[in-house]
Amino acid sequence: MRKMQIRGSHILVCGAGGFIGGHLVNSLFDEGAASVRAVDIKPFDEWYQQNPKAESLVLDLKLPGSCHRAAQDVDAVFQLAADMGGMGFIENNKALCMLSVLINTHMLMAAKDTGVKRFFYSSSACVYNADKQRNEDVVALKEEDAYPALPEDGYGWEKLFSERMCRHFREDFGLETRVARFHNVYGPLGTWTGGREKAPAAVCRKVLEAKISGKHEIEIWGDGHQTRSFMYIDDCTKGVIDIFHSGILEPINLGSSELVTINQLVDIVEDIAGIRLERRYNLSAPKGVNGRNSDNTLIHKSLGWEPSIRLRDGMAKTLAWIEEQMLAGVPSK
C-alpha cells in the first residue's frame, strides 16, 4: 500500500462549490496541499465559497470528458459531487439522486486512466439497512449493518452501489480508494432554505423566521420523535483527511454519536434564540427513518477520531450565521 500525504500533493475536489466541498478545499490548503483544483457544475456565483488559491473550474462531471479534464495531473481525488439535499429533496427526486452514479463511474474511470494515487469517496449513512432504523431508540449503526442491503430508496442505493465500485476499482485496477459514510453534516456556509436544506439549517431558519415575524409557531416534519446525530463541518473535514491518510480500505462511519430527537434539536435552537414556539407536526411530510445514529467504535479505535464540537455549540454557530444571512437579505444558494 502506497503512503499518501496531502502536504505537497496536487488535489482535485469534486463538488467544491458545495457546502462540505468548499470547507474541504480550505482544509486541504491548511494541510499543505501544493495545489487544489476545485470543480463544480454550478456557476461560480452559486458556489458556497471560493478559495482564491484554488484553480476553480465549472464542469459537468456526469460527462466522461469533464472527468478526464478534472483528473489531469493530480495525485488525489476527493469525490463529493452529487445531486442531493435534505430528506424532502431525497424522497421526491429519487431518479436525480440515482443519476449521480454517472459522476462516480466516470470519475473512477478517469482516476484510473490518469494515474491518480488515491481516491476518496463520500458515501452516506443512507446506505444502512432500513430495518435497523425503524425504532426511535435506535441501536447505533455499525459498518457491517449496511448488509443485507436495504438502503434509502434512490439516494441510498446509489451510494451503496458506488461504494462497491470503489472496492472493485481497488481490487481489479489497483486504484487506492477510501470511503467514508457521512452522518448529517451541518454548519455555516451551507444551504438553509430552498428545499435542499437539512434538518439543522431548516430548524434554525424556521426558529428565526418565527422570532423575526412575531408569529411564534413552527412546523416540524413528522412527530418530532425521530432520532438523529449531527456532525459539525470542522469535525467532518478533519475526519475526511484522517481517513484519506489512513490504511482503512472498507467504508467507515464518519459522524457524531450524540443522539437527539428532532424535538430536542428544536429545544436547543429555541434555547439559543431565547424563544419558545408552538409546534405543529406535519405527519405527511418526508421524515426519513425513525432512528439513525453512528457507531464510532471503528473510527475511534483506528484513528482516535471523535467529534470535538458539541451539538449545542455547533448549532449556536450555525444559527448566528443563518441569522446574519437573513438580516442581510442574502438568498440561500
Which residues are tagged catalytic? 155
Nearest to 111 by CA among 159, 79, 80: 79
Strand-strand pairing, 260-261 and 227-228: antiparallel
Please report, to the nearest 10 degrees, the dihedral formed by the alpha carbons of residues 231, 6, 104, 144 taken in order: -50
Distance from C-alpha of 182 to C-alpha of 230, rounded to nearest angstrom: 10
Take residue 25 and report the three cell numbers written for it: 478545499
DSSP symbol at 151: -
Q: How far is residue 301 from each of residues 133, 152, 286, measured CA to CA in Å? A: 24, 28, 35
Distance CA 208, CA 199 (A): 14
Task: Say which DSSP state 191 is in.
Answer: -
User: What CA–CA distance (Å, rounded) separates 224 from 264?
Assistant: 8
In sequence order, the 6+-apart residues with CB closer than 8 A to the CB of 176 are 1, 2, 4, 117, 118, 119, 170
Q: Please measure the distance between the N-terminal and C-terminal CA atoms of the chain and give it in whole angstroms.
A: 40
Sheet containing strand 118-124, edge to edge, reads: 55-58, 35-40, 10-14, 76-79, 118-124, 176-182, 252-254
12: Cβ contacts below 8 Å, ≥ 6 apart: 36, 37, 39, 70, 71, 74, 76, 77, 78, 116
